[in-house]
Amino acid sequence: MTSLKLDTYRRSRAEIQNRAWALFHLFNTAGAKSLAARHDERRQPTRDRMQAVVERHIGYAQSETLRNIEHAGLAQTRRVYNASTGFGAAADLTFDLDSFSDGLTLAMRKEQKAALNTAAEQLVEELRAQGVKDLPDVFKMPPDAVIKFLDQRENLIKGASEQVHDEVMNTVQQGLDAGDTTDELADRVKGKFDDMTTARAKMIATTETGAAYGVARHDGLKQAGIQKKKWLTAEDDRVRAAHEDADGQVRDIDEPFDVGGEQLQYPCDEAGSPENVINCRCVSIAAMPDDDQAEPGASEEEEEDEDGN
């Protein structure tokens, strides 16, 4: 290699190193809100895709229910209503739960697998910016771990499907009890779907995105040899109190965070209660050496005592 080419090579390498250190500095010295916003924004496309899937399938359920109402003879269905057990006619008019649940689960499984890959790819970029070397293009979760995760989420999606079905069936029953005409019952059901579709889809999408990112990032951090992790909230007015208290907690990579009295390895951990997991937008990041100097909420006096001053 000529001296000119060697000099050019050295300058290029130095520029790359300088950019890497600049990104490292940005990730680790930027304000907490800026870092939190960056993580939240990178997840938004995944949330949007999942929300669209849920809204589409709830739309299928709405169309099926309205068809049932239109085609049924309401006078006849009221006569077959079983007053002792309830929901004889309402169950006949409401969309089929098994078809709805199976369709939504299958569609969400595809999005969840994609979310695992996206989260892993983003983590590689993040760690490279922090100066971590010898990283693969993407972290690969063991196949059995992926299957276990997807099966766990499938059970929860089915539970969410049952909730939607029960709410619609209750609405249908209320209309039957009130003596609604066909048009009145259809309007009542439309109103119910209008009220719940966007909110329910957004909740499911946010929770499922958080779950996929949580497990994929935890697995990736371990593969990268990261020794410590840090809990970071979305740092906005929607963060629940328990998660705000956990913000900044630093733990060894296999040590759980203490979040509202529950032990969670990462945000949206399967071990968490619904109150601690649903709609969670927190993230677990690689902790830097200075991160574990003090726990969140520690007073200056406590820090001084730990330092022996």
Query: What stretch of H or E contains 14?
Result: helix 3-29
According to the model, what pLDDT value does residue 74 have?
52
Longest dimension (CA), the chain: 95
Q: Reduce the DSSP state of residue 25 to 3 states and report it.
A: helix
**What residues pair up with 250 in beta bridges, in sequence order?**
230
Q: How many residues does the chain have?
A: 309
* Mean pLDDT value of segment 194-218: 97
* Mean pLDDT value of segment 50-71: 96
HSE value, Cβ hemisphere, 13 Å, CA-based, for 95: 27
How would you class 87 by CB atoms within 10 Å of its CB: exposed for 0-12, middle for 13-18, buried for 19 or more?
Answer: middle
Tens of pLDDT, residue by residue over 99-112, are 999 999 999 999 99
According to the model, what pLDDT value does residue 291 have?
67
Buried/exposed code over 123-143 (b: 16+ C-beta within 10 A; e: otherwise): bbebbebbebeebeebbebee
Residue 203 pLDDT > 50, yes or no?
yes
pLDDT tier at 84 (50, 70, 90 boundaries)? Answer: very low
In contact, 201 and 49? CB cutoff 8 Å: no
**Residue 239, C-beta contacts closer than 8 angstroms, at least 6 positions apart:** 233, 247, 281, 282
According to the model, what pLDDT value does residue 165 have?
97
Q: Tell me what the pLDDT averaged over the chain comes to.
A: 84
According to the model, what pLDDT value does residue 96 have?
97
Tens of pLDDT, residue by residue over 6-42, are 454 444 544 544 444 444 444 454 444 468 788 899 9
Residue 240 pLDDT > 60, yes or no?
yes
* Mean pLDDT value of segment 282-308: 60
Find, among 73, 143, 119, 59, the residue nearest to 268 by Cα.
119
Residue 75 pLDDT > 80, yes or no?
no
Angle among Cα 96, 102, 104 to the nearest 5 degrees reads: 100
Residue 90 one-letter amino acid = A
* Mean pLDDT value of segment 187-192: 97
